[in-house]
A and B are shown apart, each in its own frame.
Chain A
Amino acid sequence: MDDQLLHIRQIYKQFAGNPVLKGVDLTLYKGEVFAIVGGNGAGKSTLMKIITGLYRPDQGQMVVEGSEVLFHQPSDAHKHGIYLVPQEPLIFPNMTIRENVTIGLHENKAECARRIQHYLSVLGWNLDLNRRGLSLSIAEQQLVELLRGLIRNAKILILDEPTSTLTFSEINSLFSTIKKLTSEGLGVFYITHRLTEIFELADTVAVLRDGVISAKGPVRDFTYEKLLEGLMPEKIEVLAPQLERTEAKPSAGQHREPILSVKNLSGYRFQNISFDLYPGEILGIAGVVGAGRTELATSIFGLEPSNSGEIFLDRESIKKYSLRERINRGLVYVPEDRHQHGLFSIASLKMNITSTILPKFRSLFIPFKKEQDIAAQAINSLKVVTTGPSQFISNLSGGNQQKIVLSKYLETGPKVIILDEPTRGIDAGARGDIYKMIDDLKHTGLAVILISSDTEEIVQLSDRVLVMHEGRMTTTIAKEDLTIDSITTAAFGIQKELKTL
């Protein structure tokens, strides 16, 4: 077993009682490209972070080239020749490529330069080492990250979705680089959402699902179907409380005017999206991370510009309107990242709740009594656990913070509400409350767009699902055909005959 680079045995890891990895075994050999696939939250990132020393496993062993190791920090992993190329390259924009590559190295400068040149010529890259980080394209930044790993004598490279931001020709050159590196004896972990790349590049593949490896073996033994089988949940455990869903009236939607109509909309990371949204309907938007769902939503809301296409709200084109005007006309977007985009952390609940409706007060002075009443009512109706409207929002739990973010957008009296990952990182109880709320909103005639990476959530709540893959709509699935299987298939970009039951 001289060829064995890395062997991990029975790795377990949990976060706050939530098991993420439940006994993972992997072996990587020299010269091998080992692909790892899995849905969102399957544990891919956690596994890689353990291998690179960012996390320590709760249980399990790691053996690098025959000797057992325990990493306390990433530099320990570097010493053993393990290097992670992150999805978003971390480049210092004001440093040259040479400085970016050699940062933190204590070796002789001339020696470093010689080795960089050596790798550049072996790989056949043409890169001026004196260029500054900010002038590099994403693909070039990735090459710099690769060089960083190589110069540190990496034997194991981990590439985390390296192609998600690359163009096709860049992908091809990356693949040939990877092939050259493995022919020199390196081992590569390749994490991806794109199944086609696995067949093109990888030698071995492992499918991670809910913290266990559900399928593993040489790529030649796999087909698309077999990979997908590994990706699908074995048994659908419904963690979230079930809703008693009143069925949408058959006439609902179909004969009425759409409230929101998107026609051939294109923008950064999404192309040619069209759909109609009717009052009283929940439209799910499914897809893997990076499929362009958030980019689509923020474009509709007016946070990001869109290139071409039209957006109609109530039959009126709204592309010319600012975000504020879109809110006034009844379109709101509840952001995915609560902390960065949703909350005012060092402010009271009432300041948070009224932040979207300040223009509605009209008076020069803030009507404090009215503000207090609005906040108290919102807290009451959403069952927020708090000491009162004056409490600071940073003292609330995640679920309660999320309720406040939702309520601040509901106060504007929207007709269309876009919810981006509304239950991310919150506990089951608050999740149930939010599901209930979404369902209530629907019944008051609101049109809801639900973006979620939790496929069960999508299936449970949506009336119709639009699936996106790499910025394009792959399909729209009607309620009758809505299964986790049908969504997952489309989300991984595989055209498969949908059997209508």
Chain B
Amino acid sequence: MKLLFRWEGALVIFLILELIFFGLMNPDFLNLTNLIFSMNDYVYIGLAAIPMTYVIITGGIDVSVGSTIGLTSIIIGVLWMNGLNVWLAVLIALLISACAGAVNGTVVATTNVQPLVVTLGTMFLFSGIALVISGGSSASGYEGISGFPDAFVQLANGETFGLPNPILFFFGIMIFFAVMLNLTRFGRQVFLVGINPKSARYSGIRVKSIIIWSYIIAGLGGGVSGLILTSYFSSARSDLGTEAVLPVITAVVLGGTSITGGKGTVVGTGIASIVIGMMQYGLQMMSMTSQETSVVIGFLLIIAVLLRLTNWGLLKKFHTKKAAVKEP
């Protein structure tokens, strides 16, 4: 556990260095209001990445999350356009995102097909459904459905206690999922299944059910992310989130979660998604194109993973040595 805190500490230090670097390049960057409100642009990554941490800890992956974002968005739009109360539409859309997760989880848990393949399939499935729904209600994919009521738009554009709502959402969800992962029996079982699914089965843990619930949570994460994006742009589009998959998984891995499962923290994912977002924002302010930004982020991820792998062994040795000295 100490090691994981070290990694989170390293991320925070990296975040501070990042702020200093961009501040030196462009003093406007450090304007506090700008900084905080810039988070609105990328908070959706964290909202999807935090629940995704659960899936990756169980040893799986969910690449369909981007499609779930678009699916949720278009369902909210279409239901509302057809006269439903917008909050009821939100509720139904979130339930459907959870169902999407349940589909992923059930297939992964009950077949031997790799999670990557399963969710790659459902990625096309969900975005296809989203397109069909969007086409069927004669809303063009690119313009989307707009004109939402003010209360709905304020969800992601309003402020509470002087802070933008999405940021409060972000921290709320981070705390909720961190508590669930580290303090509850469910969270413990997620870890045990990720460390060794066979031992978990031999210990009487309902492995399949834990896996299914993890995917439901990840699906719901995509749903919440889609909801906030829809409200933020005040426009429902089926192609929202198509580019979210890679940043989301990057945030989880950069946050210290092992892609092979068994290890990871929600707080790490949260910090890492801020690191990535700040990086995108800062590079944009240095007038880099989004393609150029991708190059830097990809590079960063590889370096981070390499660093983490090498450090781990060394720290472990150090840790055991220290422990051995402490206890004669």
Q: Separation in Å of the A66 CB from the closest CB of chain B?
A: 49
B198 pairs with A346, CB closer than 8 A:
no
A340 pairs with B327, CB closer than 8 A:
no
Q: Separation in Å of the A13 CB from the closest CB of chain B?
A: 31
Which of B33-41, B64-72, B183-191 lies at the binding interface? B183-191
Closest to A360 in B: B185
Q: Mark B174-207, 1 if CB is under 8 A from A, else 0.
A: 0000000001110011011001101111111110
Pick from B195, B202, B263, B326: contact of A341, CB under 8 Å: B202
Any A CB within 8 A of the CB of B320: yes
Any A CB within 8 A of the CB of B46: no
A323 pairs with B201, CB closer than 8 A:
yes
Q: Mark B284-328, 1 if CB is under 8 A from A, else 0.
A: 000000000000000000000000000000000000100110110
Q: Which residues of A contact B115 (CB under 8 A)?
A: none
Q: Mark A343-357, 1 if CB is under 8 A from B, else 0.
A: 111110001000110
Which of A17-25, A158-166, A237-245, A387-395 lies at the binding interface? A387-395
**CB within 8 Å for A324 and B206 given contacts A343-B196, A344-B196, A388-B327:** yes
Q: Which residues of B contact A355 (CB under 8 A)?
A: 192, 199-200, 203, 205
A327 to B200, CA, bound (A): 13
Pick from B203, B262, B320, B326: contact of A356, CB under 8 Å: B203
B202 pairs with A344, CB closer than 8 A:
no
Pick from B184, B191, B204: contact of A323, CB under 8 Å: B204
| Residue count of chain B within 8 Å CB distance of chain A | 25
Give residues 148-183 of B contacting A (CB, 8 Å). 183
Q: Which residues of B contact A395 (CB under 8 A)?
A: 320
Any B CB within 8 A of the CB of A408: yes
Any B CB within 8 A of the CB of A15: no
Q: Separation in Å of the A433 CB from the closest CB of chain B?
A: 20
Q: Mark A386-404, 1 if CB is under 8 A from B, else 0.
A: 0110010001000000000
B183 pairs with A358, CB closer than 8 A:
no
A387 pairs with B262, CB closer than 8 A:
no
A303 pairs with B199, CB closer than 8 A:
no
| Residue count of chain A within 8 Å CB distance of chain B | 30
A341 pairs with B191, CB closer than 8 A:
no
Give residues 182-235 of B contacting A (CB, 8 Å). 183-185, 188-189, 191-192, 195-196, 198-206
A303 to B202, CA, bound (A): 8
Q: Which residues of B contact A333 (CB under 8 A)?
A: 202
A410 to B38, CA, bound (A): 55
Any B CB within 8 A of the CB of A236: no
Q: Which residues of A contact B183 (CB under 8 A)?
A: 365-366
Closest to B198 in A: A341
B320 pairs with A351, CB closer than 8 A:
no
Pick from A345, A347, A361, A408: contact of B185, CB under 8 Å: A361
Pick from B192, B198, B204: contact of A351, CB under 8 Å: B192
A366 to B188, CA, bound (A): 8
Give residues 314-337 of A contacting B (CB, 8 Å). 323-324, 327, 333, 335
Chain B residues with a Cβ under 8 A of chain A: 183-185, 188-189, 191-192, 195-196, 198-206, 262-263, 320, 323-324, 326-327
